[in-house]
Structure 1
Amino acid sequence: MLERPGDLEARLAYAEALDAAADPLGEFIRLECRLSDGPRAEGSLRDWDRRHALFDAHQVAWVGRLAEIGAYASLQRGLVTGVEVDLDAYLEHGEEIFGRHPVRSLSIRGVRGRMDELLDSRWIGRVEYLSLHGGDPPDGRGPTDDDVAELAARIGPLDLRGLGLERNKEVGPASVRAVLDAPWAGRLEYLGLGWTSSGDEGAGLLASSDRLGDLRRLDLSASEMSASGLQALASSPTLARLGLTEFETSWNDFGPEDQARCLRSPVMARVERVHLDGRLAGDLVDALTGSETLGALGSIFIANDWGLETAAVRKLANWAGLSRVRSLTFCLTMVTDEQLGILAASPHLADLACFSLSENSITDDGVERLCRSPAWRGLTHLSIDRNTLTERSVRAILGAGWFPGLQALDLHASYDIGDAGAAALANYRGATRLRTLVLSLAGISDVGALRLAEASFVSQLWTLWLLGNEKISPAVGERLQKRLGRRVHLHRPEAGPRRAPPIA
């Protein structure tokens, strides 16, 4: 497995050997392989339950040592294939990390001025995806243009397929030029330049390059790019030929009309997720609903429109292309109850799986409108966090025709749900597939927490978030953890990895 980490047959053969030795890791590998190959349909939910139970029981044995040395692990198909670690810990414990786990993806901290130490290490040739994340907030230890130039100039043993330089403001156009000149540039399928200073010059270099033949995922969010940089990318024939599946340009300095032109670009033909940042009106909504290039669209993320126009919402709700969308998010858009009612009545959202309404202007009235709609038969994940909701919304959701199919419900920062909302959940006796319930900052006290602990569905939950409910006493917190173990979260977890290394 260490020599062939991406070989599925080798992984399954390894699982069989573990089964023969009565090692539960074998079953875990087979479950994760099966789950990664198919959708989360009815039959797979039992597999997910078993997967979570196995990991809860054995995670200390499987990844505990990595945590001890300060390495955050990410698993793929049952084994640790990605780690995030500080450079010093990597140099000291690399043999333990790479000698025991088929690691393909490395996110490393603290490389500024020390790139030679990383590149001279004996394990760097195993890394296919390298992230040199600058920290969030930036910690001043991320790479500079000089460090990236040193990385790009190294000949062997690097054979990178992905490079992440995110959140490094000292990474600019010179780094883009260096990456394009690197011997492994043509094999990159992922390039992350989000929150750097690559700017319009970097965008122009990418748009005109013919060195990125395998590139499929490109992140240029918050990269100090203006309309001219976006236009260079959108009109690039070489990028259009690549068939990008991810193309992230949000949080840059251009307006709706510039985004509208990009939505009509051939570069978007295979892009699966569209992020619309700013005012959704006029040309932008027309470009979205009228584009002939968005054939692969499956996810729409709309953010930072502080005055969302009802006419735009109505046009979006009437767009037949919504029937292809499986994930729809409105974040900081001030969606109103009336606008939510328009979306709820759309004939094109029956198969929507994930619906998120974060930080809007929704009240119980809007939630009740949503819950009266019979159309949302495919909904599995619902998030209405940071809105003004009470127990009325909880009761409406529990009474919705689509609630039995819901797997995740997020009502974070709905401060007035309170013990009455917790009691409504505890009193529910119908069928449910709920596995994740987020009630952090929901105004719940000991009374509500104890009621939740006795809910009929609580034993099937993977995660119950109660963070920030300050009226839950330590004594009741201990009782909850005895009942639910690590599945209940009452306190802020220790800092974890900022971004999983970007394995394909």
Structure 2
Amino acid sequence: MYFTDEQPFLDAVFARFADDGPRLLYADFLDDSGAPERAELIRVQLALARLSEDDPLRPALCDRQDELLTRNRAAWTAHLAGLVETVDFRRGVPDSASVDAATFLERGEELFARLRVRRLSLRDAAPVMTKLAASPLLARVRELDLCNCDLGNGGVNLLARSPFLENLAALDLGFNRIEDSGVNLLARSSAFPNLTTLALNDNDTIGDAGATALAESPFFAGLTGLDLSGNDIGDAGLGAVIASKSLTRLHSLRVTGNRIGDAGVTRLTRAPLFARVTKAQPELSLRANMIGPAGAAALAACPALAACTALDLSHNYLSDSGVAALLRSPHIGRLQALRLGRNQLTDNGVSACCELFGRLFEHLQFLDLSGNRLTRVGMGILSARPGAHAVHIDVSGNVQSAVAGDAPVAVAGLLDGLLDGVAEAALLKRRVAHPRHLSDGE
């Protein structure tokens, strides 16, 4: 349902796009105009935008959001039927449309007349890329999503030469088979003077040369957010970004799924950029980055880690010693979620860190230890720690997964009695090393 006198409220929303105030006023107007569920969606999505991913309030709000959209989306977007593929409501307002690229070139004026489009997601853009790059319609878009359009370096070359992208604040080029040479074309382009967010994730082959070209470009000094996840960037490429004299405004940097290794993590934690990143995005992910014990130790020693509420180090090579170094950190007191899946953690590592896990459980809500090398012995130690009952622990995909109410409880009871005294501790270590003999007399 739309109202002829809602235009001033929408004008205020888009004029102060980052502020919640105009949206809340718009919600009040919708309440008074007989559209309470539209008003409720605004308030629900604003609340969700303020919550962390692990906040316990999220599930109920997400369920309500889904319920409102399932019941009303067709009616709320009926005026766009046949023109767009999907419409997204962001912070309560429909401002994001997904459109076939050829359809956009033919009916873009009609789209803008029907919807206040801030984010435009184009599908199947590669076949019409020459026409698209030359279209003045792009000048009316603030956020352009060309994700998964198979552009390759040639499509990037056309985009980088477009004269109609000076208003872009965000550009998504993820999943496009872009290589270092394609990033170099972007780095040499002055077509994006107002760009603040750039996504180059999951292009697979962007490496140190591409990251360095971007870091050395004078044309991307306005970037505050950069996503380089899912590529082939190592310590050298990350180091170039960290040391860049141009990318000094960055406060959001994503490098999940690269190969920065221990040297890259160490360099990152010593840079002012890391403090800005953890402050702006307290849910930090360094997943799948070939990080070992030395990198974990460097991260643990960094005071900026204290800002983090969630940390994802899964799919690395921390091993027992790296996990121990991380748990000894004096800077993890705010962590609510810790992901250490697939890090070669063993029962011996859990045994050696049982007290450290106990301190962690005083504030942690979720612990991912999936895909490690734990048996029921290690799981029993975890379930016996003080506060463990309040922590959701994922141990799926280990040597032998725990079953609710099964062996971990019995094992925990045995281990509690073994933890007192040096002789008992030595016995525990032998039994952890040889779990098949756990019930044998000694």
Report the TM-score when normalising by structure 1.
Answer: 0.64
Contact 2:172 2:199 in 1 (8 A): yes
**TM alignment of 1:45-444, pairs within 5 A:** 50-62=64-76, 71-91=85-105, 94=108, 98-119=112-133, 123-134=137-148, 141-156=149-164, 158-179=166-187, 181-195=189-203, 197-239=205-247, 241-248=248-255, 250-252=257-259, 254-272=260-278, 273-277=284-288, 280-292=291-303, 294=305, 296-305=307-316, 308-337=318-347, 339=349, 342=353, 345-362=357-374, 366-375=378-387, 383-387=394-398, 388-389=400-401, 391-392=403-404
SS at match of 2:313: strand
Contact 1:270 1:294 in 2 (8 A): no
**Largest Rg, 1 or 2:** 2
Note the residue ranges of structure 1 that are not aligned, 5 or more in a row: 135-140, 398-504
Measured in 1, the distance between the counterparts of 2:60 and 2:256 equals 38
Contact 1:244 1:270 in 2 (8 A): yes
Measured in 2, the distance between the counterparts of 1:194 and 1:336 equals 31
**2:58 corresponds to 1:27:** no
Query: Which of the two has greater helix per residue?
Result: 2
> Matched residues, percent identical?
25
Aligned residues: 388
Measured in 2, the distance between the counterparts of 1:383 and 1:74 equals 32
Contact 1:74 1:83 in 2 (8 A): yes
Contact 1:351 1:378 in 2 (8 A): no
The superposition leaves residues 10-58 of structure 1 with CA deviations (integer Å, 9 ceiling, x where unpaired) of 4334323322332221222233224434568788876555444423432
**Over aligned residues, Cα RMSD in angstroms?**
3.8
SS at match of 2:276: coil
The superposition leaves residues 260-292 of structure 1 with CA deviations (integer Å, 9 ceiling, x where unpaired) of 333323332212324053555442122111235
Contact 1:188 1:215 in 2 (8 A): yes
SS at match of 2:331: helix
Q: 1:237 to 1:349 in 2, by over 3 A?
A: farther
SS at match of 2:171: strand
Measured in 2, the distance between the counterparts of 1:165 and 1:25 equals 32
Measured in 2, the distance between the counterparts of 1:270 and 1:322 equals 17
Contact 2:134 2:163 in 1 (8 A): no
Measured in 1, the distance between the counterparts of 2:349 and 2:110 equals 55
Measured in 2, the distance between the counterparts of 1:90 and 1:355 equals 45
Q: 1:312 to 1:42 in 2, by over 3 A?
A: closer
Q: 1:311 to 1:197 in 2, by over 3 A?
A: closer
The superposition leaves residues 50-95 of structure 1 with CA deviations (integer Å, 9 ceiling, x where unpaired) of 4444234323333588797672443311233333443234446656
Q: Which amino acid aligns with 1:285?
A: A
Q: 1:130 to 1:296 in 2, by over 3 A?
A: farther
Contact 2:97 2:121 in 1 (8 A): yes
Q: Which residue of 2 aligns with 1:36?
A: 49
Note the residue ranges of structure 2 that are not aligned, 5 or more in a row: 1-8, 279-283, 410-442
Report the TM-score when normalising by structure 2.
Answer: 0.72
